[in-house]
Amino acid sequence: MRRILPMLCLLSLTSAAQAGEHAWSRFDWAQAEVVPGAGKVKAAINVPIKVNGVDCRAQLDTGAPGKVIWHRQADATLPGVDTVVELAGRSLTVKASAPQLAALEGGKCTDGVIATIGNAYFEDGTLTLDLKGGRLAFTTAASLAGERAAQPFNYAQWSGGDGGHIVVEIGMPNGKLAYAMLDTGAASFGISAMSEAAWSELTGGIPLQGSATVNEYKVNSWGKQIPCYETAAPGQISIGQMLNVGHLRASYCALEAFKPGQKLVGLLGLRDLNERTVTLDYRSRRWLISN
């Protein structure tokens, strides 16, 4: 047995590696009051990263196509320098200018959240988000290639730059199919409608005005007060043919800040997914919602 046990342990470790077991990293839910008077909710995912070896924080945003979007303004007159960003067991070299790296002082990160991490950071592998457990993992394997329960997504590249947007299928209350962009940056939302017409489709024609069932509020955008609306929509939608959601929290803000290259019903947030695990296999263009 003394000879057999070490061999069994080695085989066990080898099998685990071949199976692609996750090396998990913890993340934090940022809490904020998105709808005035409604209390704080899970509003964003902040992940631990290292920037040139210094511990920092970044927001994970699948609504952003690029690799790393620095929150400090760059100086266009200065050349970008190679900067190493590490997250979830992988390391990428990206460009940053001196003002953007000024947050790294004395071996510490002085900014609370230094950057946003977008889809391009993960597009050569699989990102797994255990939203209930507050952890994430990455592997370069195409983890869902042979998973029958997984569903396809479109990796739309409208801008022509790095990365893309994850577009998934939505089964509407009227039985029709529509498409939404999976946006972890809109973590607190169910679906945020892209237009008044989309709001009407999602809610079954509920008037776009404050009422006993519609919460009307305003958000500040570049100095302007933008009207927003939120309601519990009747009926049921399906998300990627994997999850049925009743009493969907539908929202709409009268601000055309983002124009996709195809017709979308809205942005799919994490409100109805934050007790589940979401796996995004960028290589196979497949995703999975699991318990």
Q: What is the mean pLDDT of the chain?
A: 89
The per-residue pLDDT for 235 is 87
Reported confidence tier of residue 80, pLDDT bands at 50, 70, 90: very high
Q: What is the pTM of this model?
A: 0.89
What is the three-class DSSP state of 200? Answer: helix
Establish how many alpha carbons lie within 13 A of residue 162's alpha carbon, considering only the half-sphere containing its beta carbon: 15
Burial class (CB in 10 A: 0-12, 13-18, 19+), 89: middle
Report the CATH superfamily, name and number, of domain 144-290.
Acid Proteases (2.40.70.10)
Fold classification of 25-121 (topology level): Cathepsin D, subunit A; domain 1 (2.40.70)
Q: How confident is the model at residue 22 (pLDDT cuts 50, 70, 90)?
A: low
Neighbouring C-beta atoms of residue 164, cutoff 10 Å: 20
pLDDT at 38 over 90: no
List the chain domain ranges.
25-121, 144-290
The CA R_g of the chain, rounded to the nearest whole Å, is 21
- For the record, the structure tokens of 51 come out as 């920037």
- pLDDT digit string (tens) for 141-200? 999 999 999 999 999 998 778 999 999 999 999 899 999 999 999 999 999 999 999 999
Say whether 131 sits in a helix, a strand or coil: coil
User: Which of 273-284 are b and which e, b meaning 16 or more Cβ less than 10 Å from the residue's Cβ?
Assistant: bbebbbbbbbbb
Over residues 107-118, mean pLDDT:
95
Same fold, 25-121 and 144-290: yes
Longest Cα–Cα distance in the chain: 75
Please give the residue that has the higher pLDDT: either 4 or 145.
145
